[in-house]
Chain A
């Protein structure tokens, strides 16, 4: 199997993990209560970090995701059938 296929699987798993983490940071704060209660930008940490990651963090991840998966489409097109024939 060629590298583009492996990359597709890898990207999907890595970006899924990053996306889920950015949208479910509440889980981290409830699993590790010592992270709660610190003031960041004037807000409690368990509030502002999930809000920021759920918006700006998510936007940054999706921008990278879009760029890399667009490149991957081109790679799949270029490698389509190449490794399979060898």
Chain B
């Protein structure tokens, strides 16, 4: 359905990505995790067609992206990408920003239909109450939710409940600036969409969020796939320790149907209590980076 075939990319002589083989099925939510600088965002940019791979190909329904207008339009309606950072600095209202996602459907939908899709997307991202507010005056988290509504509106062809079926959503750290409630609200929305046949690839920093929602998790390290599979199979201590270079405990049985990953002291071997904080980045992430770059 949506697949990367042996894609690789190098910049100034350094191999950044790959070769990576990856396949996402309709209805599937794939989480990309990995340490800083592992190439998660770059891989996502390759999949979004923003960067051209040195070799290999990205195929969507068997077709590769190319620059002719028909292809651009086709991909604009079938593949949406939400970047990690947003640069919009003009005084649009929230509703207008969401409506910007509708531009690939210009002339293809009636006005009322656009309105319905926009309303639905705003409800899904819980920004309906902000519809007339100036986007630039929102907090970072609110802006992220508006952008989420925009990419949903971009994929929604407005026909029915499964309006986004067979399409692909690429999210780069969508939850980075959200509070805990909205993190889960956003991921639940994604889940609702994938349940209706959308495929989604999301770069997530929060391993527990990935564990809770993803159908499969891919661990990326130095531009290569270290492992890919169901959360249960991938979230193993040796694998995570190798990827993140930090001692890790995987706790099972704390939450129903989900394992929790926590950063633990190297010598801690005793049973963990449920009070242990389960969210947030491993505190040693920065050291890991330094070590990786050869400064450690």
Q: Do A and B bind each other?
A: no
Which B residues lie at the A interface, using CB under 8 A?
A: none
